[in-house]
């Protein structure tokens, strides 16, 4: 019983780490997009359409 609990805890830690990484990645991309939007709004609109 204790073993399975430990495994679940490790799994949860891994998931939260991945989630934090994803959030950091997306916020970095948003910051990039914002700075790009200030530089050239048309270019950003084109990038969004390409996705």
Q: Give tens-digit pLDDT for 1-50.
A: 566 667 766 777 777 888 888 888 888 888 877 776 676 767 767 777 77
Query: How distant, in Å, are the alpha carbons of 12, 19, 26, 27, 35 from that of 23?
Result: 16, 6, 5, 6, 18
pLDDT (0 to 100) of residue 27: 86
Cα–chain center distance at 10: 21
pLDDT (0 to 100) of residue 29: 81
| Number of domains the chain is built from | 1
Write out the residue range of the structural domain in which residue 10 sits: 2-50
CA-based nearest residue to 33, from 46, 20, 19: 46
């Amino acid at each position: 019983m204790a073993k399975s609990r430990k495994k679940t805890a490790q799994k949860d830690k891994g998931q939260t780490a991945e989630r934090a990484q994803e959030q950091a990645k997306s916020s970095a991309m948003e910051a990039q997009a914002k700075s790009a939007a200030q530089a050239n709004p048309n270019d950003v609109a084109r990038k969004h359409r390409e996705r």
